[in-house]
Amino acid sequence: MSILVNSETKVIVQGFTGKEGTFHAEQCLAYGTKIVGGVTPNKGGQEHLGKPVFNTVKEAVASTGATVSMIFVPPAFVADAVMEAADAGIELAVIITEGAPVRDMQAAKAYAVKHGMMTIGPNCPGIITAEECKIGIMPGNIFKKGNVGLISKSGTLTYEGANQVCNEGFGITTAVGIGGDPIIGLSYKQLLPMFEADPETEAIVMIGEIGGDLEIQAAEFIKQNITKPVVAFIAGQTAPKGKRMGHAGAIVSGSAGTAKEKMDALEKAGVKVVVSPAEIGKAVKEVLSK
């Protein structure tokens, strides 16, 4: 089992024939992801990586039955692409693109919610169900099949966390990179209950960072609803206030959004909080051997 995506999931790629889209779609296909086609306006009817290209998402969905879209279009066109996917009946859009304007994502997400489409990202590595389906840009080989679910705002910390979990002899059910922008799609609060309900997931790793309050919301949610053990790391304990740390959303404004307040809230919710990402693997081992 897994959450959201598996070996049966039919995926299309928006921005299929571009440089990034091509490179990563090829990697996903090699991993075994069921990519059934892609969308690039004015290239409809062509074939790319052995899959059909369509002019619109509507045509692609009608012809392939795809339910998930992986989006690689440039930042200025992301909102348009997300809304097109929602309008065409896509169930989940995975938005890899970095640098989309906040106002655009605000509108696109509101439209997606209205149409019942889930979104992941933007500015994220994507989602992977180990050894079944990779929709994103992560190195697939480090995700061994197992019993740990992973949710992370950071791409490389997703890899770091998954690698440590696997090195301890465990593995991953599904890992979701939710992205570090100020407005993102699915977050801890929506993903935690999915892992709670997944019979194969026995522990959950959540990796957060400074800025915003999604981790605080998660802490409250965990206290009330999650029975499986959760291990958490919050990046940016040593980050200065008022400075943006790489991700658009990773900024402590005033005294809000610090690593410390998030770590305290999670600890109070019964989460095993580690102070260094180097401890994630060991902490997972500890909570799973209890």
Partner 1 sequence: MNIHEYQAKEIFRKYDVPVPRGQLALSVEEAVEAARALGGDVWVVKAQIHAGGRGLGGGVKLAKSIEEVREHASAILGMTLVTHQTGPEGKLVQKIYIEEGADIKDELYLGVVLDRAKEMPVIMASTEGGMEIEKVAEETPEKIVKVAVDPAIGFQGFHGRELVFGLGITDKAEQRKFIDFASKLYRLYLENDAELIEINPLIKTGSGDFLALDGKMGFDDSALYRHPDIEAMRDISEEDPDEREAGKYNLSYVALDGEIGCMVNGAGLAMGTMDTINYMGGTPANFLDVGGTANAETVAKGFEIILKNPKVKAIFVNIFGGIVRCDRIANGILEATKMVDVNVPVVVRLDGTNAAEAAEILKNANISNVISASDLADGAKKAVAAAKGEL
Residue with tokens 């400075």: 243
Position 99 contacts partner 1 (CB under 8 A): yes
Of 42, 227, 276, 289, which one interacts with partner 1 (CB under 8 A)?
276
Beta-carbon contacts of 160 under 8 Å, excluding residues fewer than 6 positions away, are 277, 280
155 close to 212: Cβ distance less than 8 angstroms: no
Identify how many contiguous H helices and E strands the chain contains and give both numbers.
Answer: 9, 14
Catalytic residue numbers? Answer: 247
Tell the smallest beta-carbon distance from residue 100 to partner 1 (Å). Answer: 6
Select the span of 29-37, 46-54, 64-72, 250-258 touching partner 1 (CB under 8 A): 250-258
Task: Judge contact between 73 and 14, C-beta under 8 A.
Answer: yes
Does 65 participate in binding partner 1 (rule CB under 8 A)? no
Q: Are 27 and 42 in contact (CB under 8 A)?
A: no
Measured from the CB atom, the residue of 31 and 54 that comes closer to partner 1 is 31
- Interstrand relation of 126-129 and 118-120 (parallel, antiparallel or unpaired): unpaired
Considering only the stretches 35-43, 54-62, 64-72, 135-143, report the one whose residues sit in contact with partner 1 under the rule CB under 8 A.
135-143
Closest distance of CB 99 from partner 1, Å: 5
Q: How far is the CB of 166 from partner 1 (least distance, A)?
A: 12
Q: Is 217 in the site for partner 1 (CB under 8 A)?
A: yes
Number of alpha carbons in the 13 Å side-chain half-sphere of residue 268:
13
**Residue whose pair of structure tokens reads 């598996």 in the numeric block:** 6
Q: Provide the binding-site residues for partner 1, judged by CB under 8 A.
A: 75-76, 99-104, 106-107, 109-110, 125, 137-139, 141-142, 152-157, 159-160, 163, 180, 182-183, 207, 209-213, 217, 233, 235-240, 242-250, 254-255, 259, 275-279
